[in-house]
Amino acid sequence: MIFNSLPLALVILGAVILTLAGTGLTGISRLRTTNTNGNYSRWSNRNNIPYYMDSSFTAAETAMIQQAISVIQGALPASCVNFVQTSSTNSIYKIKFTPLTAAGGLQTYCYSYPGKYLYDEKYATDRGQVVSLARGASGCLTSYCQILKYLAIILGKRNEHQRGDRDGYITVSGTLTQPSAYTKYRLGDAYWSLFAYDYCSITHNKPTDFGNPAFTLTASAVVSAIPNLCTLSLTDCKLISMLYGCDSSLCKQPSCAVQAAQAATTVAATTPAVTTTPAATTTAPPPCPDFCQATTVIDEGALLLDGKQYLFSGTCYQVLSAANKVLALPTSATQIHGLFPTATDGFVIQGPIDMIWRDDTVVHVQTQGKQYACTTTTCTPETLIPKSEGVFETYDGTTYVPAYTIDGAGSTTYTNIGNPADNYLVANAMATLVTPLTTWTAAWATPTPGTVLVIGQSTPASPTPLLASLNVVPGLGLVGTAEPAMYC
């Protein structure tokens, strides 16, 4: 991973490069904001935080970013902040979400300034403050959960693991691949004493970020591991609410101990936070999205060993009917937790699902940097294969065979696993149809021999996910026979 030379503090996958002009508190109230660096401020109109999307994003990526925006707005008190999409030509100073470098190449890491960058607002000619959302293994476009971190940062939240008092809560390794990722803040950068250390902050790095491990938890830690969450923590919500003048008492997230326990699915009865927090909040998982909304990103689809077809989004799933439809209600979606058996190493699969495919007796699941081979009774760790947009199988009436891998963007090729030189163009699969799906986000075999279902988007201007049924034709790959349709 390469870090370019940058002029001012950037939050980069948890790193802050400190080459700041001043370190005073600049008169900012330390009780209103986590950010004490005078180069940055909150966005002046919390009801209209303007942003635009780089046209280089695929339709699936654009929908994923919009889903993250919806989730963070919903995790804060009602009407606390509101992101408003605008055009790149609007002269107002705005956030620019992009996967590209300033030179137009693909960015290799994600970053955001911590709040509105006042110098850029005053002098920049392009009127767009970059939030870099990169693709690939070192990027953050695997799921909306990763994007949430950079939305919290652009609102003004600083990284939790870089607090000046963090040594009392985590022990940082002396052999980091990127030491600046763990540089401690000074009081001129951020104020951290208002709330207790938050292991559940969406801005907290994981032990696998820039080390193996990059840090360990101290004996006094209130959690056993840094949880993988797809929402704000209680402290995240309170700090951002206070920063924007919202009522922080309306933040209803459970405590970190409870959130971590929910994520691990092992809430201990003796944990004080469980006994002192109302049951309605200790047991409620993150809400599932309405799978029929155009902004809901379908991460994956699969035919599981029970013979049912599933769609996955974030930490939730829905089952497709025989007519390839789901109910257009959020309440019909279910948390992934419990769908798969507990793994032999104790891991519980709860999403997001990065890739999933099957053979006759095993379903292979890639999630949260791990990969498991799951039967109906257990899941066993297996070697992690390189991440792509997906792997899908074919069925000849007798055997399910993992057959193809889809390129990382889901928009160019799908490749025969057994013969990597055997590539097919995504565009050719439905070239004869009026509305071909030019970007694929999910694909899987059906119980009907020779039939594969694909979910994707037709054009960036039409982000609504559609489902298409394709036939396997020897020598030609997949061929579409009917127009794609909504699966609701």
Which DSSP state fits 418? T
Q: Report percent pLDDT > 70 for the chain.
A: 83
Task: Tell whether the model's pLDDT for residue 65 goes beyond 90.
Answer: yes
Strands 370-374 and 439-445: unpaired
Contact 385, 415 (CB under 8 A): no
Contact 325, 487 (CB under 8 A): yes
Contacts of 29 (CB under 8 A, 6+ apart): none
Q: How confident is the prediction for the chain on average, in pLDDT?
A: 80
The pLDDT of residue 456 is 85
Q: What is the pLDDT of residue 460?
A: 59
What are the residue ranges of helices labelled H in 22-94?
59-75
User: CA 424 from chain center: how many Å?
Assistant: 28
pLDDT at 130 over 70: yes
Q: Helix H segments across 265-325?
A: 272-276, 279-282
Residue 12 has a pLDDT of: 40
Closest Cα to residue 478, out of 397, 404, 417?
Answer: 404
Give the whole-angstrom CA distance, residue 454 versus residue 468: 5
Encode pLDDT of 442-486 as tens digits.
Answer: 999 999 999 999 998 876 556 678 888 999 888 888 898 888 888
Domain 300-480 top-level CATH class:
mainly beta
**Domain range summary for the chain, segments of one domain joined by +:** 11-253, 300-480
Q: Which amino acid is at 487?
A: Y
The reply to whether 300-480 shares the fold of 11-253 is no
Q: How many residues does the chain have?
A: 488
CATH of 11-253, one of 3.40.50.2300, 3.20.20.70, 3.40.50.10860, 3.40.390.10: 3.40.390.10
Q: Say what the pLDDT of residue 288 is.
A: 73
What is the predicted pLDDT for the residue at 261? 84
